[in-house]
């Protein structure tokens, strides 16, 4: 296996172009880590969903991409952070079809399904932090 940087890459999210850049960088990192092409697409989709939520609800935030190793496994960790309004009901927000923006309500629950690990913390008035990891199979 080649040497992969474990330094986090912080990508600001403040417009649509930032979402595209984060998505593309995530896919590139996935390929460098040895993910199959279809897994790279799943990772890019999950990044796109959480980044779009940042833009929609908080107007700005950041995506942090980091290569991780644990027990001989390699993976890609994605963290989405914002200081937006927060999510008043996480249970509802993680339910398919629930949306406060007239969307399809598939962003957070869809991202959770696409990744191997998924955690979310949110506090009303303080912001939201989503952490997701996908492991190379």
The predicted-structure confidence for 3-26, as pLDDT tens digits, reads as follows: 566 799 999 999 999 999 999 999
Backbone angles phi, psi at 57, to 5 degrees: -100, -30
Average pLDDT over residues 126-136: 98
Q: How many CB atoms lie within 10 A of CB 73?
A: 11
* Structure-token pair, residue 78: 């994605």
Q: Above 60 in pLDDT, residue 101?
A: no
Q: Identify the structural domains of the chain with CATH numbers, from first to last.
A: 9-135 (3.30.565.10)
Q: Above 80 in pLDDT, residue 133?
A: yes
Average pLDDT over residues 22-33: 97
Share of the chain above pLDDT 70, in %: 88
Share of the chain above pLDDT 90, in %: 78
pLDDT the model gives residue 3: 56
Average pLDDT over residues 46-71: 96
pTM over 0.85: yes
pLDDT the model gives residue 97: 66
**3 state SS for the chain:** CCCCCCCCEEEEECCHHHHHHHHHHHHHHHHHHCCCHHHHHHHHHHHHHHHHHHHHHHCCEEEEEEEEEECCEEEEEEEEEECCCCCCCHHHHCCCCCCCCCCCCCHHHHHHHHCCEEEEEEECCCEEEEEEEEECC
User: How far is residue 132's CA from residue 80's CA, in Å, rounded to a whole number?
Assistant: 9
């Amino acid at each position: 296996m080649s040497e992969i940087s474990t330094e986090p890459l912080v990508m600001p999210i403040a417009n649509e172009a930032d979402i595209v850049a984060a998505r593309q960088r995530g896919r590139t990192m996935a390929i460098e880590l040895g993910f199959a092409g279809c897994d790279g697409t799943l990772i890019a989709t999950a990044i796109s969903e959480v980044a779009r939520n940042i833009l929609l609800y908080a107007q700005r935030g950041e995506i942090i991409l980091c290569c991780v190793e644990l027990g001989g496994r390699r993976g890609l960790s994605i963290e989405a952070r914002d200081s937006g309004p927060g999510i008043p009901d996480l249970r509802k927000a993680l339910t398919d079809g629930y949306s406060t923006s007239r969307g399809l309500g598939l962003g957070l629950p869809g991202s959770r399904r696409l990744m191997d690990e998924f955690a979310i913390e949110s506090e009303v008035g303080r912001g939201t932090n989503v952490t997701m990891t996908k492991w190379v199979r």
